[in-house]
Amino acid sequence: MTEALFVVIAVIVVALAFDFTNGFHDSANAMATSVATGALKPRVAVLLAAVLNVVGAFIATEVAKTISGGLIGDESLISPGIVLAGLAGAIVWNLVTWLFGLPSSSSHALFGGLIGAVIVGAGMHAVDFGVVMSKVLLPALIAPVVAAVAATAATVLAYRITAKSRGGRTSGFKHGQTVTASLVALAHGTSDGQKTMGVITLVLIAANFQPSGSGPELWVVLAAGLAMGLGTYSGGWRIMRTMGKGIVEIEAPQGFAAEASSTAAILASSHLGFGLSTTHVCTGSIIGSGIGRRGSKIRWSVVRTMLAAWVITLPAAAIIGGLAALAVRLDFIGIVILLATLAVLSAWIWLMSKRNAVSHQNVNDSDRVVVLAQAAEAERKARIAAIHDDGTLSVDAIRAERRNSRKADV
């Protein structure tokens, strides 16, 4: 086996590994609300999502073409090693946010990793920033808002229509959630499965195994779908807990409305070839469902933390991808070092996750999420209250509030 062929195979394997992390990282998008309301048992939910993710991967390839032929301005400048570096950035960021239970965007992690690696490896001119703006950044700003508005309206409508049938309302909407959650899983496979297809196609084009501008081969579609399905079945319990229990306490009508709104937004964007984040859409829908139900309490401290993760995901993954691209400059030995580092780091994060394991057995235990949210909110209020007349912060007051928050946690 030649070194060039080894690198291509390594990139394909790492791309499928990213797809696996995408599956367990974003499985919460489809099933968090259904699990939270009890509409589906956790294991049944992830099995259903896994199967539909595989099916969804075969529906469309427009997003794959955006990555393989749109994001990169000049494909001739891209080597398989650069693609590998971009994937490394995406995987590391996915694992870090998963460890902390933050529902950040796997899509933006991938885009950021690739952009950072391409800039370091081929220069700024190799990235088509027009495509980045129109098909990645703008949808990221617009889609969550649209999903939130749609979910708010759908939630209000759902409660009004069923106002006189409260007894059977929960049961009816739980049955409906089985359908809407399935549609979200199908839409997720359609949207996110294509991103790995695009990466593999990009490296095959870079290695001259496919002509420039061509779409993904059938085996690529199948492999990407299966990798995501397996990742989904492994269960992204940490993030599922945050989305299902951390943002707002969800009732069945809210879950139904959120899932229906998410499905519409994801499928529409996938058809248009937008590199949309299903995480952003589903989170926006959950927030909208909380706004739409009277008396519902949204934990804005959790939302603020998530928004911060959203904002830094693309640049953080880009930095990691850029650093990985520096290793790739050492040619074959650099690629081997990068692969070994990625394996060790991934194993370390997995071991760290065992210290506070979240599984299908405790995924609906919201106590820890609520305590952390309350502590963050208390600290924020302390900072506001501790501002002096001259605009400075009272460090002693902030430290005292932090000590009180820790005592409350215990």
pLDDT tens digit sequence for 150-170: 999 999 998 888 877 766 667
CB 352 within 8 Å of CB 382: no
At 162 the pLDDT is 82
Give the C-alpha separation, 321 to 319, whole Å. 5
In contact, 342 and 14? CB cutoff 8 Å:
yes
pLDDT for res 69: 55
DSSP string, 271-294: HHT----HHHHHHHHHHHHHHHST
Predicted TM-score (pTM) of this structure: 0.80
| pLDDT of amino acid 30 | 76
Across the strands, what pairs with 229? none
Nearest to 309 by CA among 108, 86, 88, 19: 108
pLDDT of residue 409: 43
Amino acid 401: pLDDT = 54
The pLDDT assigned to 392 comes to: 54
pLDDT beneath 70: ranges in the chain? 1, 60-76, 166-169, 270, 272-276, 364, 366-410
| CA-based nearest residue to 8, from 177, 208, 168, 161 | 208
Q: Which spans in 61-137 are helix H?
A: 62-69, 80-99, 106-122, 129-132
Specify the pLDDT at position 32.
83
